[in-house]
Amino acid sequence: MIAKTPRPPYYAVIFTSLRTDVEKGSYLETAERMLELAQEQQGFLGMESAREECVGITVSYWESLDAIKIWKGHAEHLVAQEKGKSLWYTAFKTRISRVERDYEF
Amino acid sequence: MIAKTPRPPYYAVIFTSLRTDVEKGSYLETAERMLELAQEQQGFLGMESAREECVGITVSYWESLDAIKIWKGHAEHLVAQEKGKSLWYTAFKTRISRVERDYEF
């Protein structure tokens, strides 16, 4: 779905990943749990995600850089990040950006 | 693929869309042509795209807000944007953001 974000400015974390071709260590279960957990965090504004073959893009939206930092350091999220590196992704890139303008249709 | 972008700051245009369920008016052909055309624009840095069922996320990266503005107003791109509204998308949101930090694995 398209996230219902407030009027800018706010922050977007763009996470682009290349998956390994094997479904190891409950990837989907962890992804769902991370969404659930993110939604509970202070300053979380929404998330959008799409995967096509091995390329995935997940964009999460946040009120502040602090909220992003706290989420990055969340204990359960740290475990998931480690599993991401060791099991699920062959490569990823995370970009932290400030949304300055938006429009929709 | 993961776009090979330079060191921040640079700009990201996050385009999230919900597609109609019909393949009308050569969507794929137009999408490919727009990628080709974007790559020729001054200030274009890269593009990432993923579609899962009806939700699609395309992120394009640019050197400056001016480059984004010129691309938005490109004649052939304007035609594609109109077809997007009339044929391909039930909803979309475009967010223009400034990438301040990135890291990869």
- Tell me how far CA of residue A36 lies from CA of A76, B30, B81, in angstroms: 12, 36, 34
State which residues form the domain around A32: 23-98
Report if residue A73 sits inside a domain: yes
Q: Is residue A105 part of a domain?
A: no
- Residues B7 and B18: their CA atoms lie apart, in Å, by 31
CA dist., res. B86 & res. B90, Å (int):
9
State phi, psi for A87 to the nearest 5 degrees.
-120, -45
Torsion sign over Cα B69, B71, B73, B77: negative
CATH number, position A61: 3.30.70.100
Does residue A12 belong to any structural domain of this protein? no
Within a domain: A11: no
B11: in domain: no
Q: To the nearest whole angstrom, how far is the Cα of B94 from the nearest Cα of chain A?
A: 5
Domain presence at residue B104: no
B53-96: pLDDT as tens digits: 889 999 999 999 999 999 999 999 999 999 999 999 999 999 99
Peptide bond into B6 cis (omega under 30): no
Displacement of CA A58 from its chain's centroid (Å): 5
**Cβ-contact A104, B93 below 8 angstroms:** yes
User: Looking at the partner chain, which of B14, B89, B91 has a beta carbon nearest the beta carbon of A14?
Assistant: B14
How near does any CA of chain B get to the CA of A20, in Å? 13
B interface with A, Cβ–Cβ below 8 Å: 1-3, 5, 8, 12, 14, 16-18, 48-52, 55-57, 59, 85, 89, 91-105
Residue A63: closest CA among A75, A52, A55, A71: A71
pTM strictly above 0.90 = yes
Strands A10-19 and A89-104: antiparallel
- B67 falls within a domain: yes
% of chain A exceeding 90 in pLDDT: 82
In this predicted complex, what is the ipTM? 0.94
Nearest to B105 among A52, A89, A104 (CB): A89
pLDDT tens digits, B7-36: 999 999 999 999 887 666 688 899 999 999
Q: Can you tell me the distance from the alpha carbon of B47 to that of B59, in angstroms, rounded to the nearest whole number?
A: 6
